[in-house]
Structures are given as structure tokens and as C-alpha cells.
Amino acid sequence: MNRRDELEANLAVVRGRIAAACAAAGRSVADVDLTVVTKYFGAADVRLLADLGISDVGENKHQEASAKSAECADLHLRWHFIGSIQSNKAAAVAGYADVVESVDRLKLVPALSRGAVETDRIVECLVQVSLDPSSAPGRGGARAEEIDLLADAIADAEGLRLSGVMAVAPLGEPAGPAFEHLAAIAAALQADHPGARVISAGMSGDLEEAVKYGATHVRIGSSVLGPRPSIQ
């Protein structure tokens, strides 16, 4: 099978899983958007995905994302930055990302704002929420008590738009209860910020649980592109 056919077949499987999860949850498939995570895969795959109708792609490393988005500028894709952001790279990330999903600390906000303003763009931001137990070592994500301040800072920043929340399921614990908790956090945030409607949750292994608990965006990598090289 050539690569295009392989990606097309994988996409059909993923879309089928999303549709089944939506049906089970009594939700419309139109309410769940697919972001294909292209990290570790090259611009050639991004081109094939665009050709197969994908509009949103996700990357988690600044250097790789910066180069790939420049190489694919003609495709008019929406680039989602989903990885941890070094403070000194935040302005640069906001220079090409359309959506920054991993805003997890206040320090990033002025830099993201500067990057958006300098490039004359509005950059959508999601507050990345930690779903890990408080005893777990940090894997990124704001703690419950930090979310409101962070959301307010994003909402007030020039060039940024607060669009919602993002989270990764906790390690070694069931995803369902964690995503249910995320839905409650998202609802509380939306009460203060009505435009913050995005819940980005669900990866290849847990998209069904995420859709069940209200995810509006799923981020799927390996189920579309295949296993990533083991050096990560």
C-alpha cells in the first residue's frame, strides 16, 4: 500500500471510531474536530493529509513545528502547538501557531501576546490543565487553583483569544474519570468566559472516553500516521 492509501485507510478507521463514540454519547460528529498530530513525521505526510481533507495538524516541538509549518505554508492548515513551551520560545511559537493548546503558566502569556502582535495575528489559546494526581511529578498543565488567573490573563492579552482547555489523561489511571473532571473544569471556565468552548482531549488510546465526556477536539497521532520512531 502506498503512503497515501495507508493514511486514507487509517483516517477512515479513526473517523469511524469518532462516529461510534459520538453515537454512543448521543453527540453529533460535527461537534468533534480531528487534529492529526504529525510530530516526528515529515512535511510529505502533512501534504498527503491536507490532500485527504485534514485541516488541523498538531506539533509538540518548536524547532520541528516552525520548520514544517514554513515548509507547508501554501497548504493553509491550522497549526496547533501541543507541547511544553520554553518561556524563551513562546513568542516564536505564537508567530506560526494558530492555536497554542499548551498554555500552562502565567509567564508564557506576555511572550505569546508579543509574538501574536508582532506577526499581526490573533492566536487562539487553550489552558492546559493537569489531570495528574497532585503527588505526581509535573508533566505540564496548570493546577486547579491556577486555571482562573491564567484564563483571565489570556483573555486580557492583546493578540490572544481564550478558546478553552486542553488536557492529557493521567498516567497509570483510567482516563474516563479524569476527562469527566476536565468537563467540570471546562464548564466552570465557560461560565466566566462564554467563548471558551473548546475541550481538547483524547489521543489514539483514549478518544472514546474523551468524546464520552464532551471533548470538542481530539488529537490523534499514531492511529493515523503509525508508530513514532522510538527515539523521543
Ligand X SMILES: *Cc1c(COP(=O)(O)O)cnc(C)c1O
Q: Which residues contact ligand X by CB under 6 A?
A: 37, 39, 60, 82, 168, 203-205, 219-223
Whole-angstrom distance, CA of residue 198 vs CA of residue 12: 24
Distance of closest approach, residue 74 Cβ to ligand X, in angstroms: 25
Cβ closest to ligand X, residue 159 vs residue 175: 175
Cβ closest to ligand X, residue 100 vs residue 220: 220
Distance of closest approach, residue 123 Cβ to ligand X, in angstroms: 18
Cβ closest to ligand X, residue 104 vs residue 112: 104
What 3-state DSSP class applies to 11? helix
Cβ closest to ligand X, residue 85 vs residue 196: 85
Backbone φ and ψ for 34, nearest 5 degrees, come out as -105, 125
Count CB-CB contacts under 10 A for residue 194.
8
Cβ closest to ligand X, residue 59 vs residue 94: 59
Distance of closest approach, residue 156 Cβ to ligand X, in angstroms: 26
Count CB-CB contacts under 10 A for residue 229.
7
Cβ closest to ligand X, residue 60 vs residue 113: 60
**Length, in residues, of the chain:** 232
Strand pairing class (198-200; 33-37): unpaired
CA-CA distances (angstroms) from residue 39 to 5, 86, 201, 207?
20, 17, 17, 18
Distance of closest approach, residue 204 Cβ to ligand X, in angstroms: 3
Distance of closest approach, residue 49 Cβ to ligand X, in angstroms: 14
Distance of closest approach, residue 82 Cβ to ligand X, in angstroms: 4
**Extended strands (E) in the chain:** 33-37, 56-59, 78-81, 99-103, 123-128, 160-166, 198-200, 217-220
Backbone φ and ψ for 173, nearest 5 degrees, come out as -135, 155
Name the residue with the smallest CB distance to ligand X.
221
